[in-house]
Chain A
Amino acid sequence: MSSGSDPRVLVVLPAWNEAQSLPTVLAEIADHLPEVGVLVVNDGSVDATSAVARSSGVQVLDLPFNLGVGGAMRAGFRYAVAEGYDVVVQVDADGQHDPREVPRIVERLASADIVIGARFADQGDYAVRGPRRWAMRVLAGVLSRVAGTRLTDTTSGFRAAGPRAIRLFAVHYPAEYLGDTIESLVIAVRSGLTVAQVGVSMRERSAGRPSQRPFKAAFYLLRACLALGISLTRRRELMNPAPELAA
């Protein structure tokens, strides 16, 4: 994949009630990434998310009810396997991920199975404070050790998966709270995949509120540590990459 023909890239946007911000994001992707496939996974939205996505002419998966990001992404990975894509890039539908960063992330996949677009303090105007920041620090520290490489932003939803990771995640992608970010990394590393990160700048959401509020921070830390602890003690044979799926 490092040389020769370019990999087929699929951008997956898990969208839950994102009808407001979706058109802008899709237009940006069409502008900056004309080559890639685009899949919107409508995660049981009650607004016009599905209609908005269809009118933009991209592929849409309509989940009959809300599964959370993990379920939406697993559906996306299964679609990617069935359609023969080499790379899946997860991009948030709320506009905080800049599509112009996608090529840089995909490039890095040449030497890793999973690449995380990490929000750095010196890039963009993304900032977190208080207990949530400590939680992210702790998680980053532990996961860096697990992955054997320095990771600073393990809860970022801006990430790319190569062919091996796609095959793994099409079968094993955790749907639990925070499973899509933290546990998925543990599963990947345990299955022998490599993780790398690329610094990206983040923007403010173009619509909608951030899903984390300060008073939830302590609870978030607790659940994150629980999720991490459990996935680290899980038996290895539960998450062996499955053989090739029938397309």
Chain B
Amino acid sequence: MRGYLFALVGALVTLAFMFELLRRRRLREKYAALWISLAIVVIVAGAFPRLLYWLAALAGISTPLNLVFFLALLVLLVVCVQLSAEISSLEHEAQTLAEECALLRNRIERLETRTGVESPAPPVADPRPRGHSPS
């Protein structure tokens, strides 16, 4: 019985942590929602262990713990893929911004040349190669 209590406490701590992050605006709701619902699922499973046995039997898994492991892995996989997708769209946005930034800088320079108020170009911020393949 102590094992379930441990899971229950862990889930409650996670839940409190998530709320705190949300409250401080450190985490956007769309990312917190998943973890909060996951914590609630763990709380329910910790409070009513019979539920787990029943579900495992339903799924044809003899050891209820294996069901937990399986579901946990599945959830982590989905989260990782979702984060990869989010990063991809962020990179895409960053690329567009970088292009826009370079184009605007060029327009300003030409404008300055034409109006004769030329000033030296500011240095490019933080020039360092990223992990991208350059070719």
Residues of A with Cβ closer than 8 Å to B? 16-17, 41-46, 50, 54, 59-69, 71, 74-75, 78-79, 82, 175, 177, 211-212
Contacts and interface: CB of A to CB of B under 8 A. Distances in A.
Given A67-B132, A69-B135, A45 B99 contact: no
Interface of B: 92, 95, 98-99, 101-103, 105-106, 110, 121, 124-130, 132-135
A75 B132 contact: no
B99 A68 contact: no
A71 to B, nearest CB: 5
A79 B105 CA distance: 12
11 contacts: A17-B129, A43-B134, A44-B129, A45-B127, A46-B128, A62-B102, A63-B98, A64-B98, A66-B130, A69-B134, A71-B99
A155 B39 CA distance: 50
A226 B106 CA distance: 36
B128 A65 contact: yes
Contacts of B124: 42, 44, 50, 62, 64
B89 to A, nearest CB: 13
Given A16-B134, A71-B95, A177-B133, A64 B128 contact: no
The B interface is mostly helix, strand or loop, or mixed, namely: loop
B125 A175 contact: no
A79 B134 CA distance: 21
Contact of B134 (A41, A82, A211): A211
A41 B102 contact: yes
The A interface is mostly helix, strand or loop, or mixed, namely: mixed
B129 to A, nearest CB: 5
B131 to A, nearest CB: 9
A1 B102 CA distance: 30
A127 to B, nearest CB: 18
For the complex of A and B, the 10 pairs showing the least CB-CB separation, nearest first, are A75-B99, A61-B102, A211-B135, A16-B134, A68-B132, A177-B133, A63-B102, A66-B129, A71-B95, A62-B124
A78 B133 CA distance: 22
B94 to A, nearest CB: 8
Contacts of B99: 63, 67, 71, 74-75, 78
Given A46-B127, A61-B103, A68 B98 contact: no
Nearest to B127: A46
